[in-house]
Every structure is written in structure tokens, then in C-alpha cells.
Homo-oligomer: A and B are copies of this chain.
């Protein structure tokens, strides 16, 4: 495969930095374009990371990939999307709403922003879960007269939930889902993010708009592709989303009422064996396990399990019958909100689209 020329929009922010780490040494995607605000334009990336006091603002645990430090940063105005084969967007929703259609008109845009997630002709793609939804991109192109397209990632709280529900839906059917999340700080971003004074020795029981997103996005991801859109899955998802004092890794306590009775061992197997056809595709970023099931009742824990297979695996534990629900089961999951749930998940999605021929070289 020819390498694909790649750009990141919003390259100096925290999600942008995560994209750089995710693309370092990537065998298919050659990162050549770093796009950021006017303030950074023209500087080498290394310098664009300095704040007004001259201090370096690199917010990701992994060190910055040295090969990108001297790439020049381009302004949005000077950015020419057709010079690239695939564009990763790491900007906030307001800016995304304006920019992404501009770039999507000519090139594939994979984005972590929420701006277009619920539009009818936009697939909400999760690798291993709903590969067939990718075909909605053709309809998006036809309807909008675009050569490119927009494919957003779901909300980071949705990702682990949808991944673990998929094998249950396939094998046993789902009547409804109740979930309480204990979400990490990094999910709130950095500007301003969560104040230390608010979360130390505390839990914050509310994350604005999060619960609605999880409900609707889960139904869309697990829905049925129907040519010009997706018919949402018809089971309800009720959640309470809370913030806890954890750096990375969302923990979710999930209670599922299945359609059909299932022995616990069958459910365990369904989860542990689930692959969704992912491993056969040979995608470079795909984890060897999509779901790992722990039998140790003290797992999963966000600090111990979030980095499983580079944060691309959803880790499940405490699987047990639910005494309150007919055909009920319950479990706890941990999913890395800034890896599978953001930049690395976006790169995996682009790999899937490349494999499907929807992202390709324009040389």
C-alpha cells in the first residue's frame, strides 16, 4: 500500500497531541500536515507548543514523537486539504461545524468532535462493531455532492459500552440497559477542564449533555444500516454519568436486561470471543483482543487496566447475573477515553476505511 498523506487539524491541543503519538511510526499514514491557529502558524511544531511564558505545553504522558517536532505548523487559512489523503480533526464542536464540511467536501475527515454525529447520512463507526455502516459514506457523498466525507467517533463514554453490548445484542438480544459511569478527568479536556478544588475528596454527579449522547449514540452504533441512514437499535439506554478523581479511563457499571435467558458462561464467552471480524483485517492499530474479560473480582480498575493493548481493549469484569432484571446480567467495564475513545480510535477507524477502499491515495 502506498502511504497516505495525512494532516491533523488542531495539532497543538491535547487531542491533537494524542494524534501525533498515535500516528508516530504508522505504516500506512504519513503525517505531513499540522494545522493550528494563527498564533502557531509558520513555527516549527516544537516552538508552537510553547506558551507565552516560553514554557513547553505538552500534555500527553508519552513523549512527543521527535520526527514531528520540526514540521512547520500551517494556519487554517493556508491549509490545502487536497494535498492530503486523509484528515484527522481534533477541534472543538463549534469550529468543527464550520471547518469539517469544508474539508469533507474534498477529502475524508475522521473527527473526534460531536458536531455531525447524529446527522442522518453520517455513520458513527466503531471498528469491530458496525463495519457495514461505513457504506453510509457513499450516500453522504451522493447527497452532499462531496468527494470526501465526515466520519466522527462516538463520545468516549459510548465507545466501551457499545463494544460490550454488541456481542450481547447479537447472541441474546437486549431489552434495556442501565449504566452508571465513573468518568476520568481527561474526558473533560483542559480548558478549563475540572478544577482540582472541585474534585478532590469528591464526586461530581453530572456531566452536561453526556447522558443523552450515550443513549442516542449507542442506539445508532448498534442500529441497522438501511441504505440512506441507520435504523437505531430499539432498546433503551438509561445512564447516570459522574466524574471521579481519575486521570484516564472511564469505568462503567452496566446492567443489561437480555431478550433471552443466557447462562453466565455463555455471556462470558460471547464477550471474550467477540472480534467482529477485526483481527482478520490486519489493521495496524487493532488490538489483539477487542474485549478482555477478568475473573478477578477486583478488576477492572482504571489505573491498572486502561492501558491494556495500548488502551485499545475494553476490559470487562465482575460479570454476574442481575437479580433485579428478567434475563439480567451485570458487569463493570473500563475503556480508555483518550485512546480507543479518541485519537487512537480515530486512527483505527481510518485504517478500517482504508481497508474498505474509502480512504485511499490520491496520487
Contacts and interface: CB of A to CB of B under 8 A. Distances in A.
A78 interface: no
Contacts of A296: 54-56
A177 B255 CA distance: 11
A198 B240 CA distance: 25
A326 B248 CA distance: 35
A242 B182 contact: yes
A240 B332 contact: yes
A117 interface: no
Interface stretch (A15-23, A104-112, A298-306): A298-306
Interface string A185-196: 110001011111
A313 interface: no
A66 interface: no
Q: Which of A194, A251, A298, A322 has the most CB of B within 10 A?
A: A298
Given A196-B194, A200-B247, A244-B244, A299 B185 contact: no
Interface string A38-78: 00000000000000001110010000000000000000000
Contacts of A255: 178, 238, 240
A299 B57 CA distance: 11
Interface stretch (A4-12, A203-211, A270-278): A203-211
Given A56-B296, A200-B245, A298-B55, A236 B318 contact: no
Interface residues of A, number: 60
A1 interface: no
A215 interface: yes
A330 interface: yes
Contact of A246 (B180, B202, B236, B240): B202
A242 B251 contact: yes
Contacts of A301: 202-205
Contacts of A245: 196, 200-201, 244-245
A142 interface: no
A182 B247 contact: no
Contacts of A244: 182, 203, 244-245
A297 B55 contact: yes
B323 A236 contact: yes
Nearest to A243: B196
Contacts of A180: 180, 240, 253
Contact of A324 (B201, B238, B251, B303): B238
A162 to B, nearest CB: 16
Interface in A158-196: 176-178, 180, 182, 185-186, 190, 192-196
26 contacts: A55-B298, A59-B197, A178-B255, A178-B324, A178-B325, A180-B180, A180-B253, A182-B203, A190-B195, A194-B195, A194-B197, A195-B195, A196-B196, A197-B247, A200-B246, A201-B245, A201-B246, A203-B244, A203-B246, A203-B251, A206-B318, A208-B297, A237-B323, A238-B330, A242-B251, A244-B244
